[in-house]
Amino acid sequence: MSLSGKIVASAALGAALLAAPAVRAQEFINVLTGGTSGVYYPLGVALSEIYVDGIEGSRTQVQATKASVENLNLLAQGKGEIAISLGDAVALAWEGNAEAGFPQPLTNLRAIAAIYPNYIQIVAETSSGATTLADLKGMTLSVGAPASGTELNARTILDAAGMSYDDLAKVEYLPFAESAELIKNRQIQATLQSAGLGVASIKDLSATHEITVIGIPAEVVERIGAPYAAATIPAGTYTGQEADVPTASVGNILVTSEAVSEETAYQMTKLIFDNLERLKSAHAAAGNITLEGALEGLSIPLHPGAERYYREAGLIQ
């Protein structure tokens, strides 16, 4: 080929490349959850499937974590795109509460939606004789992973009841499933788990062992105040639980970061409410997620993408 021919061919190739449609960069969404035996994990799996189906060109991953506190720190570090967290942990992260596990204020966090409440569920093996919070004194209690949202709940509840870890014989910092196994093996006497009703670890424990669900009186919850609220664990939630049990609830929030694009945050928000039945199929706790409640109890700013969706839906004027 002559030199002039090569120049013409090269120019034609360049023009063709310029005319070709741009290839969209693949969207990666890491969903930060909790332990595999809790509620966060199956909901996170469902979210990841909804997003990969509904967001063109997306690739998703579900990461099991120690839940709320770790999730928020990972989000702030750019190691996740969406996470589930307890509302009190979100507020403390925004403030930068070092004792709760946030040495610096995490002001790059943004809210997607308030979702379902967590119920503080304290369960003891019936043979231990524990029926009240005060009865836990001198016993071994598992309070969740260190510096997790559950462990934060445990310290808060005990403090409001006039107790502390010093009143216990021993404190174990264990995930839900491992805590239940140790009760089965009589290595610990009780566990505190902050989760949606019907959490798998307690359901499994109650199926084979006699348990007592220990109540948290309303006056204890009132001493704490928002975002804690008095709630009830309905009779029959667990095998052998014949009566309603008073407890405390704390709302969960889906959280992202300001680094996530407006369009992705918009799609992540919209797809939640377009697929509520699919989320409920993943875990019954999702039955409490409603569009009407999506803005309740948020302690951090909405992501602009989420705000756009709520304006379209009529929740924000």
Percent of the chain with pLDDT over 70: 92
* Interval 231-266: pLDDT, tens: 999 999 999 999 999 999 999 999 999 999 999 999
Token pair 């705000």 is found at: 307
Amino acid found at 315: L
Q: Please give the pLDDT value at position 165.
A: 97
Q: Do domains 27-117+251-313 and 118-250 have the same CATH topology?
A: yes
Task: Point out which residues pair with 62 in neighbouring strands.
Answer: 31
Helices H / strands E in the chain, number of each = 11, 10
Least confident of 8-12, 147-151, 233-237: 8-12
**What Å distances lie between residue 18 and 8, 24, 57, 287, 309, CA to CA?**
15, 15, 22, 50, 35
Average pLDDT over residues 120-131: 97
Cis peptide before 227 (omega within 30 of 0): yes
Q: What is the CATH number of domain 27-117+251-313?
A: 3.40.190.10
Arithmetic mean of pLDDT over the chain: 92
Q: Which fold has domain 118-250?
A: D-Maltodextrin-Binding Protein; domain 2 (3.40.190)
CA pair distance 31, 21, nearest whole angstrom = 30
**What Å distances lie between residue 128 and 124, 210, 224, CA to CA?**
7, 10, 28
Q: Please give the pLDDT value at position 2.
A: 47
Q: Would the pTM of this model clear 0.75, i.e. be above it?
A: yes
Whether 10 has a pLDDT exceeding 50, the answer reads no
Return the ∠ at Cα 86 (arms to 70 and 159), rounded to 5°. Answer: 95
| Backbone phi, psi, residue 50, to 5° | -65, -40
What residues does each domain of the chain span?
27-117+251-313, 118-250
